[in-house]
Amino acid sequence: MEGSGSMDKKAIVESVPQRGFFGHPKGLFTLFFTEFWERFSYYGMRAILLYYMYYEVSKGGLGLEEMTAASIMAIYGSLVYMSGIIGGWIADRLIGTSKTVFYGGVLIMIGHIVLALPFGATGLFTSMAFIVVGTGLLKPNISSIVGDLYEETDGRCDSGFSIFYMGINMGGLLAPIIVGTVGQEYNFHLGFGLAAIGMFLGLAVYLATRKKNLGLAGTYVPNPLSLEEKKKVFTQIGIGSIIVAVLVAAGLITGALTLAVFTMTISVLGILIPAVYFFVMYRSPKTSAAEKSRVLAYIPLFIAAVMFWAIQEQGAIILAQYADKRTDLSFMGLDLQSSWFQSLNPLFVVILAPLFAWLWVKLGSRQPSTPVKFSLGLFFAGLSFLVMIIPAFGGTETLVSPMWLVLSFFLVVLGELCLSPVGLSVTTKLAPAAFSAQTMSLWFLTNASAQAINAQLVRFYREDTEIVYFGIIGCASIFIGLILLLFSSKIRGFMRGVN
Ligand code: GLN
């Protein structure tokens, strides 16, 4: 059944069986496992993609330059989170979140299947297009449905999001071990095939349990387009697409559209899109005075989150390269795979998330405010890069102990747990009511902007620039964290009652 904006929250919540998954609504089971498998496929693919791009052709790779491969990883990651804007819009105005999630999953699965086939670079770029759009449809919307399962006053909501965040990271933890091992030890395409199977399992869980567990959640269209609006919007989208297609074709034919130009375009968009978002929200007549103040408070938090994700996401690029090139992979009699290091971040999240949840509850009203937690996040992220300077002093001739990477991933997760779950919840609280539906997309834009900037940054990393590279980025993060700390009570004032 498809409803309209008038469907009230109470009817939705009542249609969802309120128990059945660790004391949470049964729908959480469906969303947990769908997202588990989606992340399994995404992080499994990411764990071997970099190596697939720069390994020599004789080793089953594409033989690209390392610097180029690193830039592509960042651009790709940025687009994956940027396209959430499209997903949010389609759900809000056309078909609702539930259907959008399903179509997203199908596109993602097709993307992985394309990579599983031996199509070389053409296959890679085709697959990327499918996965960018598919993830944009699925990722923010599945998170929104989590919010649909609970009454506004339901105290279980925050812990529901924590359980969901664990599902994300359990998928991310298993994937590099399974997909990474198969991809690196046997064949890259076989690895990508496993990612496709993962997404298939996610879709199967979703389809088999959706009706029974999710009830009306995600089936309504909050702000549907009228027939007239549809005509207008579709015409605009059509014309826009033709213009972009012509520009791209012209760029390709004349040779003006190089990878560097494309990368720069995405980097600029990564900064421009959130700026426009903020401007529109702030200027909208639908935004009240208190909400305007909160929009202003959100800006420094947004910038801090961008700095944080820039470091966190380099775990899959620069530190992945480091694992492959600079790390001694025989450790205590074990032969490690470089892709396995990608499991460290989700592993530490799964272990430490309950500890942090407990800590915040225990501290109660004495816990640090959101801006202070964000500055802690930046401090740990900065530290995670600064420690990588130490092994660099030993020169680049000898391989370093894998424990350096373990330490670095551990530190960044301490930061992630101060910033990421907190960021999700503060985003919903600071959002102007008229824009509430798009806030998930806005939060994911912090990651998109970070990776858009990374696409430029990662090109400066080389073995002989390590000390400067890790040093400058690490210090920048701590510096921004300090500024945030200095202004934290001022920012809290602008938050108007939100903590
Ligand atoms: N690792 C998290 C995820 O995959 C982080 C994404 C984010 O930017 N919030 O969901």
What's the rounded Cα separation, in Å, for the pair 265 and 268?
5
183, 339 Cβ separation under 8 angstroms? yes
Residues across the chain: 499
- pLDDT at 131 (0 to 100): 97
* Cross-strand bridge partners of residue 331: 334
| Rounded Cα–Cα distance for residues 237 and 352 (Å) | 45
420 ligand 1 Cβ < 6 A:
yes
φ, ψ at 77 (rounded to 5°): -60, -40
For residue 420, the ligand 1 atom closest to its alpha carbon is: 9
- Contact by Cβ (8 Å): 95, 221: yes
Cβ atoms of 166 and 350 within 8 Å: the answer is yes
Q: Is the CB of 345 under 6 A from ligand 1?
A: no
Q: What CATH fold (topology level) applies to the domain 1-224?
A: Growth Hormone; Chain: A; (1.20.1250)
For ligand 1, say whether the CB of 419 is within 6 Å of any of its atoms: no
Question: Cα dihedral sign for 461, 465, 470, 476?
Answer: negative
CA of 257 to the centre of ligand 1 (A): 30
- Counting from 1 in the atom list of ligand 1, the atom nearest the Cα of 165 is 10
Asked if residue 445 has its Cβ within 6 Å of ligand 1, the reply is no
Closest CA to 449 of 130, 23, 81: 81
Q: In the prediction, which pLDDT does 389 show? A: 96
Going from N- to C-terminal start, the domains of the chain cover 1-224, 258-499
pLDDT at 158: 74
SS3 129: helix
Helix extents (H) in 149-222 = 157-175, 181, 188-214
Distance 416 CA to ligand 1 centre (A): 10
Asked if residue 297 lies in contact with residue 494, where contact means CB atoms within 8 angstroms, the answer is yes
Q: What residue has token string 């031996």? A: 118
Give residue 256 CA to ligand 1 midpoint distance, Å: 34
442 lines ligand 1 (CB under 6 A): no
Q: Taking the CB of residue 57, how many other CB atoms lie within 10 A of it?
A: 9
pLDDT tens sequence across 178-220: 999 999 999 999 999 999 999 999 999 999 999 999 988 888 8
CA-closest candidate to residue 137, choices 82, 211, 191: 82
Separation CA 166–CA 160 (nearest Å): 10
Cα separation, 85 vs 88, in Å, equals: 5
Distance of CA 47 from the midpoint of ligand 1 (Å): 15
Does the C-beta of 447 come closer than 6 Å to ligand 1? Answer: yes
- Residue 436's pLDDT is 66
- Ranges of the chain whose pLDDT falls below 50: 1-6
Q: Architecture of 258-499 per CATH?
A: Up-down Bundle (1.20)
Q: Ligand 1, residues 168, 350, 412, 427: which to mutate, most atoms within 8 A of Cβ?
A: 168
Q: Name the 3-class secondary structure at 18.
A: coil
CA of 397 from ligand 1 middle (Å) equals 35
